Amino acid sequence: MADETFGEVPQSELLYELKGVSYSYLDKFSALNNVDVSIKTGERIALLGANGSGKSTLLLMLAGLIFPSKGGIKFLGRDLTEGIFFRSKVGIVFQNPDIQLFNSNVADEILFGLLQLGLPEKDIRNRLENSLSAMGIKHLRDRHPQYLSIGEKKRVAIASVLAMEPDVFLLDEPTAGLDPRTTRHLIETISTLSEKGRTIITATQDIHIVPEIADRAIILSEDKIVIKDGDMRDILRDKELLERHNLIHSHTHIHEGKSHLHPHEHPDHHHPHE
Ligand SMILES: Nc1ncnc2c1ncn2[C@@H]1O[C@H](COP(=O)(O)OP(=O)(O)OP(=O)(O)O)[C@@H](O)[C@H]1O
Ligand SMILES: [Mg+2]
């Protein structure tokens, strides 16, 4: 494991640097196209884009699980190449929780990674309990992950990454399938992690959560190109841009950087107090 070679992740430094990165699955299915992106330590970034625009592919690359077909990626100034493994620095929650879960009960699922960190027993117990309660899954600790509901699986997958306390969190559609209360807990957890200086990169179709989890947004187009990279508020205000890239449909409206569904107009209906 090459974890040690990266040492501590310093604050406000260039964390990732991608230059001219392209990626194709099986050498024929294009998934990223000439992407230039730099990410600093402590940033909160939302990755936006239609289905198939390359969001998950980009997260897998940031996690060091796949490597550019063309171009280069650096992590803390060093080339990320196959064989470099930085599990305790970077944690990823996959879009599909089934890929993440392979132990026979929820507690073991969370302990699996933790036990490899060489922490004292007391810290391991604390991290286990804290991550179970952050995701509201204490009651599921003895259950088999495979036989949980989709939302429950997602909570377990997130808890297993939270427990590792990585410097960099890569979250792929973390709120998909979560109920409102769990979504709220997750947003609060992300805020707390960010205040502690962690870097948080979230791919999401849930435009409503973007103002709460990101300061910067990157939009990938259906051609797998970065077509916009900038201030989250500016991007959310650009309704035409969002519609063009299939991030909102015409009935969703954005006000003050917040998105909400515009109510249908009923011209004949009047409130009793009007
Ligand atoms: N394992 C794979 N084999 C072949 N092609 C793939 C594979 N995974 C993804 N692709 C292709 O790569 C492109 C980018 O896919 P990716 O999963 O990164 O998109 P995404 O933006 O995450 O989409 P979604 O919003 O549906 O999650 C798509 O065209 C997809 O068909
Ligand atoms: Mg995806």
Q: Mind listing the pLDDT tens digit for each residue in 90-134?
A: 999 999 999 999 999 999 999 999 998 899 999 999 999 999 999
Please tell me the predicted confidence (pLDDT) of residue 251.
Answer: 66
Which tokens in the block code for residue 55? Answer: 């969001």
**What residue's CA is closest to ligand 1, atom 25?**
51
Q: Could you give the dihedral angle defined by the CA atoms of residues 47, 48, 50 and 56, in that order, rounded to the nearest 10 degrees?
A: 10
Tell me, rounded to whole angstroms, the distance of Cα 256 from its chain centroid.
24
Quick one: average pLDDT of 194-212?
96
- Residue 206, exposed/middle/buried by CB under 10 A (0-12, 13-18, 19+)? middle
Ligand 1 centroid to 68 CA: how many Å? Answer: 15
Are 201 and 47 in contact by the 8 Å Cβ rule? The answer is yes
151 in helix, strand or coil? helix
User: In the predicted model, what is the mean pLDDT of the chain?
Assistant: 89
Crossing angle of helices 121-134 and 150-164, in 10° steps, is 140
Return the ligand number nearest the Cα of 172: 2
**144 vs 11, higher pLDDT:** 144
Residue 7 predicted with pLDDT over 80: no
Please tell me the predicted confidence (pLDDT) of residue 4.
Answer: 44
Tell me, rounded to whole angstroms, the distance of Cα 194 from its chain centroid.
13
**What residue's CA is closest to ligand 1, atom 16?**
54
Euclidean distance between CA atoms 194 and 42, whole angstroms? 7
Residue 164, amino acid? M
Ligand 2 centroid to 151 CA: how many Å? Answer: 17
Interacting residues of 116 by C-beta distance below 8 A, sequence separation 6+: 87
Mutate to test the pocket of ligand 1, among 51, 59, 99 (most ligand atoms within 8 A of CB): 51
**Ion ligand 2: residue ranges with CB closer than 5 A:** 55-56, 95
Ligand 1: lining residues by beta carbon, under 6 Å? 25-26, 29, 31, 49, 51-57, 95
Please tell me the predicted confidence (pLDDT) of residue 265.
Answer: 35
Please tell me the predicted confidence (pLDDT) of residue 81.
Answer: 80
Torsion 167-11-225-218 (CA) sign:
positive
Tell me if the pTM is above 0.85. Answer: yes
* Nearest ligand 1 atom, CA 53: 21
**What residue's CA is closest to ligand 1, atom 17?**
56
**89 vs 261, higher pLDDT:** 89
Ligand 2 centroid to 56 CA: how many Å? Answer: 4
Compute the residue count for the chain: 274
Euclidean distance between CA atoms 23 and 231, whole angstroms? 26
Residue 208 predicted with pLDDT over 60: yes
Residue 1 predicted with pLDDT over 60: no
232 in helix, strand or coil? helix
Please tell me the predicted confidence (pLDDT) of residue 82.
Answer: 72
Domains of the chain: 44-64+86-259 (3.40.50.300)
Which of 201-215, 217-231, 245-259 is predicted with the least confidence, judged by mean pLDDT? 245-259
